Structure 1
Amino acid sequence: MKKLKSSLNTNSLQWKLLSRFFLILMLLLVIMEAYQYMTLKQYLYNSKEQVLDARFHNAGIPNLQQIQTPEAVIESASSIIEKMVDVNMSVAIIDRNGNRIAGTSKVENFKGHGGIGPNEGTDEIGVPAPHPIPIPLPLPIPQLSQNDYIKLLHQHGTLEGYRLIRDENKNLQIVAWRKIGDLNSPSGLIQISISAKPVQDLLFHQLYIFIGASILVLIIGSIVGGTVFKYTLKPLHNVTNTVAKIDVEQLNMRLPSETGQLEIDRLSSAFNTMLERIETSFEKEQYIKEKMRQFISDASHELRTPLTSIHGFVEVLLRGAAKNENQLNLALNSILIESERLTKLVNDLLFLVKLEKKVPVEMDVEDIENIIEEVYPQLQILASDRKIDLQLENNLLINANRNQIKQVIFNLVQNAVHHTDEKNGVITISTNSIKIGSDNFAVLKIKDNGTGIPKEHLNEIFDRFFRSETHRSRKHGGYGLGLSIVKSIIDAHNGRIEVNSELGKGTVFTIYLTQIS
């Protein structure tokens, strides 16, 4: 019962496929019937038009062109009608002023209606039959307005074709006209009409047959389609059942990837890949938690240190040190230094958050040489007695944010300064171009002859608050955010940064940025 309920669920894939198949099938049937209906309709009406054309030929078109006056039209009306009228037809003569001057209709077992001839009723120029026999209702003669008839008289050509007009009984008739007399200046019109009911009956009959056949096709199609979709989706149900059994303790389970259906195999393969990633993620979960705990601990420590110093100096001032000018200046300077350190730490953290959010920054075409030369005076002050050696290549253009690239250079040089000797330290900044595959890259290298970085720390130096030293104190201070900022900026520029280091010999940071030709 549960299985049957799920197969009838309107939200199931099987139901959606079946319903859409049903709609497509129904749409195709409607299009086919519409085409068949229009084709048959056109064919039947054209056949009726040919019947009307044949009646016009019975009247003798060349003879009609010789009737040039209104009087001649009235005199010839009886003979024209007699030649043209046939069973289930009506014929009328229209003068040049748009007035009907004669007309008759003829139906099976019915002699005349408003017409001319022996034992027939007459219209304007006829005499009614004295003893009418009980007969079917006559076929009414379609009537246009006087203006419409005048427009037909002035219309160019022989008026070939037909119109569908409703008579006084609201029944549809097929009507055709031909001019009497000269085509450019006719003396009258011949109107002949035939009931469209046989055509409509045939079309309705065809429509009823199609509706019945369509319902039968849709029922059979639904039954067959439902069965086909059920067996087609069976591998998908197997995948669903297997996935439902997987939990944290069974992440090593895998789905069969050879079911004979390409899409299901690709789905199974994708699920297996996802399970592998989830399994790997669980293995790394403890490591990530530890890194997060360490990050919170480091951030709290770095924020607490300057706050503690500021708080301590404020207490000293409140206890009376403010009255001593030397102690006051010392305390205020210390508070200023610590507040600046605190401000820098907060700004660096906010800058990292901004980079991680990938906030769009304005980038222009920049020459690396110009950026380095602009920041060079600050680097000299930062390096103090250390030597800064520039080896720059001209016209290395990149698409970059000038201020951010300057910060990258400043942070890397600052990092080199912290790890090189004050007297013998040498920091080399070099640029060059390199081709990797089909792309050209501008390469920026910052090399020092400092203490180097242990190999086990090379993969961690870009983490926030990471320090190579195991202790917290450092001669030059710092929070371990500089290289994190560098990495984030380079990533935002779609670049790459690498580091090579050897203990006791120095470190080289290499940055690759896409070069603009």
Structure 2
Amino acid sequence: MRRDHRGTHSLRGRLTLVNVALLALGIVAATAVSLMGMRHYLLDNVDSELLASRNALQGAGLTQKQIDSLSAIGALRDKYDPERAAARALPRADTVLVALDAKGQPIAFAGVAPTRRQLELASAVDDPAVFAGSAEAHDLKLDGDAYRAVGARIADGTFVLTATSTESVHGAIKKALRLDLALGTVLLTFLAVATMLGTRHRLRPLEDMVETASAIAEGDLTRRVPGSRDPVTETEQLRVALNSMLHQVESAFETREHSAAQLRQFVADASHELRTPLSAIRGYLQLYDKEMLREPAERTRALARMIAEADRMGRLVEELLTLARLDQQPRLRLCSVDLSALVRDAADDLRAQQPQRPLDVRADGAMVVHGDESGLRQVVGNLLANIRAHTPADAPVRVELAREEGAGDRAVRLVVADEGPGMAREDADRIFDRFFRAAGGGSQPAGSGLGMAIVRAVVASHGGAVTVETGPGKGLSVTVALPAAHT
């Protein structure tokens, strides 16, 4: 089941909040800078017009009476150049101009009496001489409205105050602020949605990893992190590394389970096989303890049976230890081994034990392999011991050793075949199982059932293979293929 992590505590939510916060800070900073620049530019234009008007009045050299006379005849722009400058300095609709005498009292200007707004401008200025002497415009409030004002002193000492409203400037700034806030909100919303969708796509591999880890924790070791159509490099590397780790964990778990199963089977089989000789020895000891073996012949026979069972247990323990050592894949003592010499030695042992058995050995010339001599000697000895245990003493035996070359590989092939009763197919399939014993037809009692298991384990440790061909009444043929030593 996919686990859905939502909210601000998730990685997706935190990334979204961080991106939105950063963009919000950027928008606020950009808006503040742009509005400050806009305000400075607009106010600078207003101040330039005010200062130009003041300079025109002061530079014309006119007096209050001259301005009144010129205004009366209506020819201010046509007579003198200073008059045209003064005409250019006439106020706009949002400009207030008032004349003050030397005492700071409002007086008529250009034949017009002061209005209420002009009187407010005159009362808002404490010292008109300061305004006239300042090189910059000043902020004023007239009836709650913002103004920028300058002062000028004309030739007869009259002060002229000029103020221009800046409400349009502030209105433009407020409109720009509202526009920036609207656009910023749209951008923040778009970024939040885009970030959520983008992180959902980019973090999907991480969610797959969480889902896979949860499934593995619940016992499904076969789960792997699926690939992505558009993988991010780091995420894809993490996915590959995680899948590789999961594969190793699964292999290690399977190996542990297999080893544990082998150990349980090993203990069960060993206990089962050791129970019989131990029971026999215990039985004879009880008979001896109860003095039920009165005849010397009976005591001799009981002692011989106990020695035989003890020898059987000793061989069984040695074979179990051999298999346990091979299961642990020990480091072999590798050297150049002449396999034909091992075959001849084992054949001589078989002739000494069963002189009447027909034996055909074909091992001419040296057949050198790179392997462990004791292990290979045990392979050949177990194959011939298997024949002694499971075939009649007069059944012919053929031992053939040859070299094979093909597909660029060189191998030595050992064939041990007999003309005994053979085996059924179901028995042949289990011939390499531990403690498996088929019905024997030889002169010796059946072995422990570990001989062929040891053969396969030793051959596998040398990188070889062993196969069996048999059938009821067709005898048994075992073929061992080992890599030949490179010369």
TM-score normalised to the size of structure 2? 0.51
Which of the numbers 189, 212, 224 marks the counterpart of 1:243? 212
Which of the numbers 385, 397, 400 marks the counterpart of 1:414? 385
Looking at structure 2, the residues matched to 411 and 297 of structure 1 have their Cα atoms a distance apart, in angstroms, of 23
Which of the numbers 332, 335, 344 marks the counterpart of 2:303? 332
Aligned pairs for 1:352-371 (under 5 A) are: 352-371=323-342
Question: Once the two structures are superposed, what CA deviation does each residue of 1:455-498 show, in whole Å capped at 9, x if it has no partner?
Answer: 334443222112345x9xx9723221101111121122222212
* Identity rate, percent: 24
Which of the numbers 473, 483, 486 marks the counterpart of 1:514? 483
Question: Once the two structures are superposed, what CA deviation does each residue of 1:345-365 show, in whole Å capped at 9, x if it has no partner?
Answer: 111111111222233343321
**Contact 2:400-2:416 within 8 A present in 1 as well:** yes
Looking at structure 1, the residues matched to 220 and 201 of structure 2 have their Cα atoms a distance apart, in angstroms, of 28
Which of the numbers 344, 349, 353 marks the counterpart of 1:373? 344
**Corresponding position of 2:279:** 308
Q: CA deviation at 1:441?
A: 0.6
Which of the numbers 298, 304, 312 marks the counterpart of 2:269? 298
Looking at structure 1, the residues matched to 400 and 247 of structure 2 have their Cα atoms a distance apart, in angstroms, of 43
* Letter matched to residue 473 of structure 2: G
Q: In structure 2, do the counterparts of structure 1 residues 427 and 245 end up closer, same or farther at CA, with 3 Å as the change threshold? A: same
Which of the numbers 330, 339, 348 marks the counterpart of 2:319? 348
Q: Aligned with 2:10: secondary structure?
A: helix
* Letter matched to residue 282 of structure 2: H
* Letter matched to residue 359 of structure 2: I
Q: CA deviation at 1:2?
A: 3.9
Looking at structure 1, the residues matched to 357 and 472 of structure 2 have their Cα atoms a distance apart, in angstroms, of 19
| Larger-Rg structure | 2
Q: In structure 2, do the counterparts of structure 1 residues 4 and 264 end up closer, same or farther at CA, with 3 Å as the change threshold? A: closer
Q: Aligned with 1:509: secondary structure?
A: strand
Looking at structure 2, the residues matched to 487 and 6 of structure 1 have their Cα atoms a distance apart, in angstroms, of 61
Which of the numbers 456, 460, 464 marks the counterpart of 1:491? 460
Aligned pairs for 1:105-504 (under 5 A) are: 234-246=203-215, 255-261=225-231, 263=237, 266=240, 295-321=266-292, 324-423=295-394, 425-468=395-438, 476-504=445-473
**Contact 1:259-1:265 within 8 A present in 2 as well:** no
Question: Once the two structures are superposed, what CA deviation does each residue of 1:57-99 show, in whole Å capped at 9, x if it has no partner?
Answer: xxxxxxxxxxxxxxxxxxxxxxxxxxxxxxxxxxxxxxxxxxx
Q: Aligned with 1:393: secondary structure?
A: coil
* Letter matched to residue 230 of structure 2: G
Runs of 5+ unmatched residues, structure 1: 9-226
* Letter matched to residue 495 of structure 1: G
Looking at structure 2, the residues matched to 290 and 401 of structure 1 have their Cα atoms a distance apart, in angstroms, of 28
**Contact 1:363-1:401 within 8 A present in 2 as well:** yes
**Contact 2:209-2:225 within 8 A present in 1 as well:** no
Looking at structure 1, the residues matched to 338 and 367 of structure 2 have their Cα atoms a distance apart, in angstroms, of 5
User: How many residues are treated as equivalent by the alignment?
Assistant: 291
**Contact 1:445-1:509 within 8 A present in 2 as well:** yes
* Letter matched to residue 408 of structure 1: V
Looking at structure 1, the residues matched to 402 and 335 of structure 2 have their Cα atoms a distance apart, in angstroms, of 20
Looking at structure 2, the residues matched to 258 and 387 of structure 1 have their Cα atoms a distance apart, in angstroms, of 69
Runs of 5+ unmatched residues, structure 2: 1-7, 16-195
Looking at structure 1, the residues matched to 311 and 212 of structure 2 have their Cα atoms a distance apart, in angstroms, of 56
* Letter matched to residue 337 of structure 1: A
**Contact 1:364-1:399 within 8 A present in 2 as well:** yes
**Contact 2:338-2:369 within 8 A present in 1 as well:** yes
Q: CA deviation at 1:399?
A: 1.5
Q: CA deviation at 1:454?
A: 2.8
* Letter matched to residue 374 of structure 2: N
Looking at structure 2, the residues matched to 376 and 485 of structure 1 have their Cα atoms a distance apart, in angstroms, of 19
Q: In structure 2, do the counterparts of structure 1 residues 290 and 403 end up closer, same or farther at CA, with 3 Å as the change threshold? A: closer
* Letter matched to residue 499 of structure 1: V
Q: In structure 2, do the counterparts of structure 1 residues 274 and 492 end up closer, same or farther at CA, with 3 Å as the change threshold? A: closer
